[in-house]
Amino acid sequence: MYNELLKIGPITIYGYGLMIALGIFFAYQLIVYRAKNRQFDLSNVYSLTVWGLIGGFTGAKLLYWITQFPNIINNPSILWNIGEGFVVYGGIIGGILAGFIYCKLHNIEFLQYLDLFVPSIALAQGFGRIGCLLAGCCYGEETHSPFGITFHNSEIAPNDIKLIPTQIMESVFSFTLCILLLLLARKTKKPGLVSCLYLLLYSAGRFVIEFYRGDVIRGQVGIFSTSQFIALLIVLVTSLVLVLSQYHKSKYTGKNA
């Protein structure tokens, strides 16, 4: 795999950046298409996209710095490397938080817009993991399985060693999740349900895939990687929200029976 796909004079097109750009492009096209069909305000959709990207980038970078805090103490120059080093969960949390703030400021329904966006988030993640494959980051453990992948010119992944293709695993998982969310969105009008399913399924899938990751710079919280710990928290909180919402709905229905 080669991250440097094309050089045009002083300009270099990197596979990782290209996949991120394609992910954002197709994700936004999907959002706009669905927003038009559902009569969403496109000005809010555009603004939320910008806010989400800024919040996502900031959150992904901040969480990476948190996981790398001991290394940053020894080498503060890590802070100036803006183009590399991101944690997906930081991006998800940062993007959702930014969207929540925007919706509160403009007095619009947050959950309805979040339901609109989450299938596209999964779609963008699918492209992003292809970028990880090209760059060699987020690689898997060594394997003797015939389904392994071997890097020969990577600056990040171990070369000439067959590795579990965790990038491909998560990419396929994310694309599949996008399709499932789109199907669910057609069948339900309950605000927040699509978003909750995204958080639950993505966290569960990510938790499992983390067991096969071989990169050692992800940070640890006890016996779990940072992402596994966050995945557990998200599953617990999301499950609690679903239970409480169902309880309040049943209680309200009972009072009006």
Tens-digit pLDDT profile for residues 27-60: 999 999 999 999 899 999 999 999 999 999 999 9
Amino acid at 4: E
Q: What is the pLDDT of residue 245?
A: 77
Q: What does the pLDDT look like over 197-253, one tens digit per residue?
A: 999 999 999 999 999 998 866 677 788 888 899 999 999 999 998 888 776 565 555
CA dihedral over 177, 182, 184, 190, signed as positive or negative: positive
DSSP symbol at 34: H
Amino acid at 23: G
CA dihedral over 104, 105, 108, 114, signed as positive or negative: negative
Per-residue pLDDT band at 65 (split at 50, 70, 90): confident
Per-residue pLDDT band at 7 (split at 50, 70, 90): confident
Q: What's the per-residue H, E or C state across 230-249?
A: HHHHHHHHHHHHHHHHHHHH
CB atoms within 10 A of CB 156: 16
- Which of 152, 151, 153 lies closest to 166, judged by CA? 151
User: What is the rounded distance in angstroms from the CA atom of residue 74 to the CA atom of residue 56?
Assistant: 27
Q: What is the pLDDT of residue 9?
A: 76
CA dihedral over 89, 86, 112, 127, signed as positive or negative: negative
Residue 255 has pLDDT above 60, yes or no: no
- Reduce the DSSP state of residue 45 to 3 states and report it: helix
Per-residue pLDDT band at 64 (split at 50, 70, 90): confident
Extended strands (E) in the chain: 4-8, 11-14, 149-150, 162-163, 220-221, 224-225
- Which of 187, 83, 177 lies closest to 124, judged by CA? 177
